[in-house]
Amino acid sequence: MKSVIQRVSQASVSIDGNIAGRINQGLLVLLCAETADTKATADRLLNKLLKLRIFSDDAGKMNRSVQDVEGGLLIVSQFTLAADLWSGNRPGFSGAAHPKMGEELYDYFVEAARKRHPIVETGTFGANMQVSLVNDGPVTIPIQL
C-alpha cells in the first residue's frame, strides 16, 4: 500500500459541495491499494501510522503519535498514488489495485482504524472529492509497504 500522511491542524473532504468528513488536529491519510496488497499489508500500514511520532512533545521535538495527542484520522482513497511515469508524461495506473479489490482494502483499513482509534472520518471510495487541509509544519510523510 502507498500512503501520504500529512500532519494537519484541520482537514476536510467534500463531495458535491457537501462535507463528507472533517477533523481538527490529526492526520490526513491519502491511501492507495496496489495489486499485491492484502489485509496484512493494511494492518501493517495502520500500525505504522498510529505509532508514527510526528507530533511535538513539550520540548518541541516530534515525539508523539496521533494517539498520544488524541488527534483525528481523515482517510481518503487516492489511487493516483500508484501513478507510473517511467515512460512518457501521461501517468499509468496499472500498479493500482482493481477498483473492487481497492475498495475492499480501503473499507477494511477504515474499519480496522475505527476499532483502534476514536476519531476516524473518511471520504467515499471512487468519488470525485475535494480535500481541504491546513498542513501543520508542514509535515508530509510518504509511506510504502
pLDDT of residue 87: 86
* Positive or negative torsion for Cα 6, 9, 15, 19: positive
Give residue-wise pLDDT tens across range 68-106: 999 999 999 999 999 999 888 999 998 999 999 999 999
10 catalytic? Reply is no
Question: pTM for the complete prediction?
Answer: 0.95
DSSP string across 39-79: HHHHHHHHHHHHH---EE-TTSSEEE-TTTTT-EEEEEE-G
Q: Is the pLDDT of residue 120 over 90?
A: yes
140 catalytic? Reply is no
Please identify which of the residues 35, 38, 80, 144 carries the catalytic annotation.
80
Kindly report the average pLDDT of the chain as a whole number.
96
55 catalytic? Reply is no
* Closest among 55, 83, 81, 82 to 69, alpha carbons compared: 55
Please identify which of the residues 78, 109, 122, 125 carries the catalytic annotation.
78
Cis before 138 (ω within 30): yes
pLDDT of residue 72: 98
pLDDT of residue 64: 98
pLDDT of residue 133: 98
Q: Is the pLDDT of residue 12 over 90?
A: yes
pLDDT of residue 88: 86
Please identify which of the residues 6, 25, 55, 79 carries the catalytic annotation.
79
Give residue-wise pLDDT tens across range 35-64: 999 999 999 999 999 999 999 999 999 999
Q: Is the pLDDT of residue 4 over 90?
A: yes
